[in-house]
A and B are shown apart, each in its own frame.
Chain A
Amino acid sequence: DQQVKQNSPSLSVQEGRISILNCDYTNSMFDYFLWYKKYPAEGPTFLISISSIKDKNEDGRFTVFLNKSAKHLSLHIVPSQPGDSAVYFCAASGTYRDDKIIFGKGTRLHILP
């Protein structure tokens, strides 16, 4: 049973527009949520995170929103740039720091010129 779900395998967005990537989770014990970005033949790169006690975290062009009641989070990228084309993984971690991370299957984002 998948605990972290990314239901959109791919997404295409025009350059300069907003990209919104969605993620749902099932385990209410998750304490921390992360987004990773992955280019081909490279390992995942940490992008942004949010604690379960917050509902929004912003870092430059990237904002993550958390809706605990809906067990839903989203990553907004504004404005989208060509270098944002990559696979984005939503991930969650448990109560203990240094706990294993549970990943979704990823969403491939294509930024169109």
Chain B
Amino acid sequence: GAGVSQSPRYKVAKRGQDVALRCDPISGHVSLFWYQQALGQGPEFLTYFQNEAQLDKSGLPSDRFFAERPEGSVSTLKIQRTQQEDSAVYLCASSSGHGEYEQYFGPGTRLTVT
């Protein structure tokens, strides 16, 4: 079956612009996670949804970052007034929510803020 998909794959934004990154999880997966991966680092947790409920947003670096999953499937990560330090790969992952630890990742969106 189809895996996790993300769009766009690459995004260049001028500093101060707003961006929206989309994630389509594996069909039927209850849990959805967003991670940020800076160059040379491992992915770092941003936020977690169970269905449409955002249960953990402790990793969001500032109030410029906002995520939603209104119908419990597709999720959008929005970054307002982008800064150069927001340049990173944004990864989305999903899991079945039925006792699985393993998360399945999408290819990521590489955001470059100029």
Which A residues contact B (CB, under 8 angstroms)?
Answer: 4, 32, 34, 36, 41-46, 49, 89, 91, 93, 97-106
Contacts and interface: CB of A to CB of B under 8 A. Distances in A.
Interface of B: 4, 30-31, 33, 35, 40-45, 48, 50, 56, 59, 91, 93, 95, 97, 99-108
Contacts of A100: 33, 45, 48, 56, 59
26 contacts: A4-B42, A32-B101, A34-B101, A36-B105, A42-B107, A42-B108, A43-B91, A43-B105, A43-B106, A44-B43, A45-B105, A46-B103, A91-B42, A98-B48, A98-B95, A98-B97, A98-B100, A100-B33, A100-B45, A100-B56, A100-B59, A101-B103, A103-B43, A103-B44, A104-B42, A105-B42
Contacts of A91: 42
B21 to A, nearest CB: 13
Contacts, number: 60
Q: Summarize B's interface: helix, strand, loop or mixed.
A: loop
Contact of B50 (A98, A103, A104): A98
Contacts of B102: 34, 46, 49
Which of A49, A98, A103, A106 has its CB near the most chain B CB atoms (within 10 A)? A98
Nearest to B101: A32
Nearest to B97: A98
Nearest 9 A/B pairs, CB to CB: A103-B42, A43-B105, A100-B45, A32-B101, A98-B31, A46-B102, A44-B105, A43-B107, A103-B43
Contacts of A104: 42
A1 to B, nearest CB: 13
